[in-house]
A and B are shown apart, each in its own frame.
Chain A
Amino acid sequence: MSYGLENAEHPETLRRVAIDPVSRVEGHGKVTILLDEDDKVRQVRLHVVEFRGFERFIQGRPYWEVPVMVQRLCGICPVSHHLAASKAMDAIVGTRRLTPTAEKVRRLMHYGQMLQSHALHFFHLCSPDLLFGFSSDVARRNIVGVAAAHPETARRGVLLRRFGQEVIRVTAGKRIHGTGSIPGGVNKSVTREERDVLLADIYDILAWSRDAVALVKQLHGQDPALYNSFGVFRSSMLSLVSPGGDMDFYDGRLRARDEAGAILFDQVDYRDYHAHIREEVKPWSYMKFPFLAALGTDKGWYKVGPLARVQNCDQIPTPLADAERREFVDYSGGAPIHAPLAYHWARMIEMLHAAETIKDLLHDDDILGDDLVSTGERAREGIGVIEAPRGTLIHHYRVDDNDLVTMCNLIVSTTHNNQAMNEAIRHVAKRYLSGHKLTEGLLNHIEVAIRAFDPCLSCATHALGQMALEVTLVGADGGELDRLARHGDGTTSRPAP
C-alpha cells in the first residue's frame, strides 16, 4: 500500500516548498513538496542529503579499530555501532560465547543507551509537539518552551538522559564514543563504587519511566482520533527476538510479521540477513530503501524500532514493561498498530523495560567480575546485529590474514524505516496540507510524522534551495580549494582549476 506521491509527472511545472533542515531529529535531512496551481500536493520526498562513504574508508583498517571508529557514524547512539561492530569482531576472533562479565557489562551499556536515547527523543525533541500542539508557536516549540511550561517534565527528561549517559560512562569509559567493548569481550567491568552510585538513583529512574508511559497514554487518550490515524502506513515489521520470543535489544534472531500481524519468518539466524533483506537505491536520496526479499519492492517495506519490537515479541521479560505491553496490544484489540504516533507510546514502554533491566543487572555481581575476554579460532567474516534505539542495526565485515578489513556493509536502523517515513509524510501531506495555503504550523505536521520514527539521519547538511550547477570552494585566504560541476545528465565532474 502506498500513497502514490513519490513521483509527480512534469515536476518542472510544479511549485516547490522545502522543509530544510528537518529539525528536532538526529541528523539532517530535508523534505521537498511539489504543489500544483490549486495547492494540491503532487509529490513528497524525504531526502537524506549527506554521503559519507564509511563502508569504503573503513577498508584497510585493522579490525580491532573498527568498534571505536564506526561509532563516529552517530553521536546519539554510538553504543549501538560500538556493540554491533564488536559482535561482528567477536566472530573474527573466534569468540563462541562471551564471559558472563563481558556479556552483562555490554548489556548494561546497551540498555543505558536505550534509556538515554529514548529519553532524549521523547523529552528533548518530541514532547513540544505533543504537549503544545503541532501548529503551536514556533518560538516555544522546543525543550526551552517545555522547561518554562512544564518544568518538572523537562527536568525529569534531562535527569533520565543523564542517568543513561552515566551508565554508558561507567561501562564504556566515556559518555560519547567510549572504548569499553573490544573484540571478544570488554576492557573494563564495573567497580562497587560505580555500581553503588548508579543504584542510588535507579528507583527514581524507574518511577519516572513509569510516569513517562502514563504521560504518553494520557496524550493518546486526549485525542485518539488524531493519534490513531496520523500518517498511518501499513507495512511489515522486523526485529530481533530471543530464542523464546522475548524482547531482547542486545541479541537474538530475526522475526518479521506482515502488515496483518502474521509471522513471515521467525528465528532466522541474523548471519543470513542478506537472504531476507535486499536494498533498493533511488536517485533522490543517499539513504537506501531496504525491503523483504520474499515480498519484493512493491510490498516488502517494513518498519523497525519500538513500534515493531513491542508488537513483534511474545513478551517483555520484565514485569512492569510487560504489563504495559499487554495494555498496548489490547488497545487495538490485538490488530497490529501502524500509527506513527504510537511509536512514542511503544518507546516509553521500552524505556521502562531498559530501566528495569538496568536495575536487575546492577544487582548482578557478574558485572563486577574480572574475566573479561574470550577468544577462539580466527575467522575471516563477521556479522553483528543488534536492536539499536531506532531499530535493527546490521554490521557485516570481512577481514584478511593481515587483520585488515576488506569489506564492510552497514544497514543502519533508520534506513529500514526509509519507505515508512516517506509514506507517512505523504499521508500527512494528503490529509492536512493538500489544497491549503501552507503555513509554518502545517509544515511542522510533516516533521511531527518524521520525528515519530526517531530517525537518525546520521549526519548533517543544510540545503540551499535550488542547487548551484557549479560550486567553487574558496579558502579563507582567497585560494581555490575545490571546484565541481553537475551536468544535465546528473553526473558531476571537476573542471581543471
Chain B
Amino acid sequence: MNASAPVARKLKVATTSLAGCFGCHMSILDIDERLFTLLEKVEFDRSPITDIKEVGDCDLGIIEGGLCNAENVEVLREFRRRCKVLVALGACAINGGLPAQRNTLSLPLLLQEVYRSEPGAEHGLIPNDPELPLPLNKVHPLHEVVHIDFFIPGCPPSADAIWAVLTGLLAGEERPLGHGLIRFD
C-alpha cells in the first residue's frame, strides 16, 4: 500500500453542440452505466448537461455540429483556445452533415421561403433582431477554421466508438478505431 500516492487529478472535459442535432451528445449518453465509470476520471466543464456557460481551461473539448452562423465560429475559437485536445464528433462537425445540404441554395431565398411562403404563415417578415446571430452563407466543417486533433465519424458515432476514443485519450494513448467501430451512417 502506498499511502503517499498522489490522487490523480480528474481530467476536465468540455462539450458543445454547434450546428448539430444533439444526436452526437445523445450517443455520448448512450455509454449508459459506463457514464459512472467515466465520472471517476473526468469532470465536466461547459456542456449542455451542466450549467457552466463559459468554457474554462480543459484537457479535452468535444464538438458536435458544423458552423452555420457567426456565433458557432466564436464558440469554436474559444474551445480551441481553452482545450488542449479538440475532437470533432460526427458527420456535421467533420463535413457539415445534413445542415450543409443548404450550401447549394441562396440564403436570402431560403429565409424568404421558410418565413414568407409557407402554408399558415402570418405577417410575412423574416427574423432580423440583433440578438439573432448572423447566419453564414454556407455551413462549414470545423477543420476549415481551427486545427482539430481527432475526428470520429458517424451520424452519430456509436457509443462504443466514443467510449473507445475517450478511454484511449484518458489513458494517454491514441487508439485508432478499427473495423466495426468506424462507421459513416
A158 to B49, CA, bound (A): 14
Chain A residues near B126 (CB, 8 Å)? Answer: 281, 283
- Interface hits, B111-169 → A, CB 8 Å: 111, 113-115, 118-138, 140, 143-147, 155-156, 159
| B19, B23, B131: most-surrounded residue (chain A CB, <10 A) | B131
Chain A residues near B53 (CB, 8 Å)? Answer: 19-21, 23
A-B contact count (CB 8 A): 268
| B39, B111, B114, B144: most-surrounded residue (chain A CB, <10 A) | B114
Chain B residues near A155 (CB, 8 Å)? Answer: 33, 36
Asked if A461 and B69 make an inter-chain contact with CB atoms under 8 angstroms apart, the answer reads yes
Asked if B51 and A460 make an inter-chain contact with CB atoms under 8 angstroms apart, the answer reads no
Asked if A464 and B74 make an inter-chain contact with CB atoms under 8 angstroms apart, the answer reads yes
A467 to B143, CA, bound (A): 24
A459 to B68, CA, bound (A): 11
Chain B residues near A285 (CB, 8 Å)? Answer: 127, 129, 132
Among B23, B118, B122, the residue within 8 A (CB) of A176 is B23
- Interface hits, B16-67 → A, CB 8 Å: 16-27, 29-30, 32-33, 35-36, 39, 43-44, 48-53, 64-65, 67
Asked if A161 and B73 make an inter-chain contact with CB atoms under 8 angstroms apart, the answer reads no
Chain A residues near B110 (CB, 8 Å)? Answer: 53, 56-57
Asked if A467 and B27 make an inter-chain contact with CB atoms under 8 angstroms apart, the answer reads no
Asked if B71 and A283 make an inter-chain contact with CB atoms under 8 angstroms apart, the answer reads no
Chain B residues near A47 (CB, 8 Å)? Answer: 129, 131-132
A51 to B136, CA, bound (A): 10
| A120, A274, A461, A474: most-surrounded residue (chain B CB, <10 A) | A461
Asked if B16 and A460 make an inter-chain contact with CB atoms under 8 angstroms apart, the answer reads yes
- Given A142-B44, A284-B131, CB of A476 within 8 Å of CB of B144: yes
- Interface hits, A278-317 → B, CB 8 Å: 278-286, 288, 290, 297
Chain B residues near A466 (CB, 8 Å)? Answer: 130
Asked if A158 and B32 make an inter-chain contact with CB atoms under 8 angstroms apart, the answer reads yes
Query: Chain A nearest CB: distance from B83 CB in Å?
Result: 15
Query: Chain B nearest CB: distance from A85 CB in Å?
Result: 14
Looking at B1-9, B97-105, B171-179, the stretch in contact with chain A turns out to be: B97-105
Chain A residues near B69 (CB, 8 Å)? Answer: 49-51, 461
Asked if B131 and A74 make an inter-chain contact with CB atoms under 8 angstroms apart, the answer reads no
Among B44, B67, B131, B144, the residue within 8 A (CB) of A32 is B131
Is A40 interfacial (CB-CB < 8 Å)?
Answer: no
Query: Chain A nearest CB: distance from B35 CB in Å?
Result: 6
Asked if A484 and B137 make an inter-chain contact with CB atoms under 8 angstroms apart, the answer reads yes
Looking at A94-102, A341-349, A486-494, the stretch in contact with chain B turns out to be: A486-494
Q: Which residue of B lies closest to A484 (CB)?
A: B134
Is A369 interfacial (CB-CB < 8 Å)?
Answer: no
Asked if B143 and A476 make an inter-chain contact with CB atoms under 8 angstroms apart, the answer reads yes
- Interface hits, A43-80 → B, CB 8 Å: 45, 47, 49-53, 55-57, 69, 72-76, 78
| B30, B49, B65, B132: most-surrounded residue (chain A CB, <10 A) | B132
- Given A75-B156, A462-B72, CB of A482 within 8 Å of CB of B29: no
- Interface hits, A134-152 → B, CB 8 Å: 138, 141-144, 147
Asked if A57 and B101 make an inter-chain contact with CB atoms under 8 angstroms apart, the answer reads yes
Asked if A175 and B27 make an inter-chain contact with CB atoms under 8 angstroms apart, the answer reads yes
Asked if B73 and A473 make an inter-chain contact with CB atoms under 8 angstroms apart, the answer reads yes
Asked if A281 and B33 make an inter-chain contact with CB atoms under 8 angstroms apart, the answer reads no
Is A409 interfacial (CB-CB < 8 Å)?
Answer: yes
- Interface hits, A156-205 → B, CB 8 Å: 158-159, 161-162, 165, 174-177
Q: Which residue of B lies closest to A55 (CB)?
A: B114
A471 to B114, CA, bound (A): 24
Chain B residues near A419 (CB, 8 Å)? Answer: none
Chain A residues near B19 (CB, 8 Å)? Answer: 50, 52, 459-461
Asked if B68 and A50 make an inter-chain contact with CB atoms under 8 angstroms apart, the answer reads yes
Chain A residues near B132 (CB, 8 Å)? Answer: 47, 49, 51, 284-286, 467
Is A124 interfacial (CB-CB < 8 Å)?
Answer: yes
Chain B residues near A142 (CB, 8 Å)? Answer: 44, 49-51
Asked if A283 and B129 make an inter-chain contact with CB atoms under 8 angstroms apart, the answer reads yes
Is A259 interfacial (CB-CB < 8 Å)?
Answer: no
**A residues bordering B, Cβ < 8 Å?**
19-21, 23-28, 30, 32, 45, 47, 49-53, 55-57, 69, 72-76, 78, 120, 124-125, 138, 141-144, 147, 154-155, 158-159, 161-162, 165, 174-177, 274, 277-286, 288, 290, 297, 396, 409, 411, 440, 444, 447, 458-464, 466-468, 471, 473-476, 481-482, 484, 486, 490-492, 494
Please name 11 further chain A to chain B contacts, defined as beta carbons within 8 Å, in addition to the given A24-B48, A476-B143, sorted by A numbering: A75-B23, A75-B24, A138-B51, A158-B32, A158-B35, A282-B127, A396-B119, A440-B51, A444-B51, A475-B145, A481-B145
Which 10 A-B pairs have CB atoms at the shortest separation, nearest pair first? A75-B23, A490-B128, A460-B17, A284-B129, A75-B22, A462-B75, A57-B101, A471-B70, A75-B21, A72-B98
